[in-house]
Chain A
Amino acid sequence: GAGVSQSPSNKVTEKGKDVELRCDPISGHTALYWYRQSLGQGLEFLIYFQGNSAPDKSGLPSDRFSAERTGGSVSTLTIQRTQQEDSAVYLCASSLQSSGGPYEQYFGPGTRLTVT
């Protein structure tokens, strides 16, 4: 079946502009995660959604970052007033559940964000 998809694959934006990154998880997966991969910081957790529960936002680096998940499926990560340090690859992952078992996370190809 189809895997996790992300769009756009590449995004170049000017400093100060807002960007939206989209993630389509695997059908039937109730848990959805966002991670950021950057040269200086490696792979960092940002946020996760599990069903109708309140999302775990503990990894968001600042209040310029937000995310939502509509209808328990598609998710959008929004970065407001982008800064050069936001340049990174943003990875989305989904899994059957988020806790209580060794559910593996399936990753999308990522969105490469470049802030100029």
Chain B
Amino acid sequence: AQSVTQLGSHVSVSEGALVLLRCNYSSSVPPYLFWYVQYPNQGLQLLLKYTTGATLVKGINGFEAEFKKSETSFHLTKPSAHMSDAAEYFCAARGGTASKLTFGTGTRLQVTL
């Protein structure tokens, strides 16, 4: 069965600092991978997705993620945090023939002045 692990339920960074949110997946077959962001009292918004091809994926709001098959990882990064980045971030995976998304437990990002 597919599983997704996000290390760190809470991450705090200073404004302007690097953001690194970790995600590892467990699958015998590299899945499709997604990062979603959730702002308070809102639904999930897709940040970026990995399907096939280029392993460095760029998304919205300056975020990017790198798929590393050897490490079964898909960490999310942003070079310089902004206050508006404060939200909860979810990593998700879906197998090639599966339909449902399997989510990690989420990481709440706090950005301080």
Nearest chain A residue, comparing its CB with the CB of B90? A43
Q: Are B100 and A33 in contact (CB under 8 A)?
A: yes
Nearest chain B residue, comparing its CB with the CB of A106? B46
User: Binding site of A, secondary structure by majority: helix, strand, loop or mixed?
Assistant: strand
Could you list which residues of chain B lie within 8 angstroms of chain A, going by C-beta atoms? 32, 34, 36, 41-46, 49, 51, 90, 92, 94, 96-106
Q: Report A47 CB to chain B, min CB distance, Å.
A: 9
Which residues of A lie under 8 Å from residue B49 when comparing CB positions?
A: 102, 104
Which residues of B lie under 8 Å from residue A107 when comparing CB positions?
A: 36, 43-45
| Interface residue range, chain A | 20 to 34
Which residues of B lie under 8 Å from residue A108 when comparing CB positions?
A: 43
Q: Are A42 and B106 in contact (CB under 8 A)?
A: yes
Tell whether A71 is near chain B: CB-to-CB under 8 Å: no
Cβ-neighbour of A91 out of B44, B105, B106 (below 8 A): B44
Q: Which 4 residue pairs across A and B have the least CB separation, nearest first?
A: A102-B51, A98-B99, A43-B103, A107-B43
Nearest chain B residue, comparing its CB with the CB of A108? B43
Given contact pairs A102-B49, A104-B34, A104-B49, A56 touches B90 in the complex (Cβ within 8 A)? no
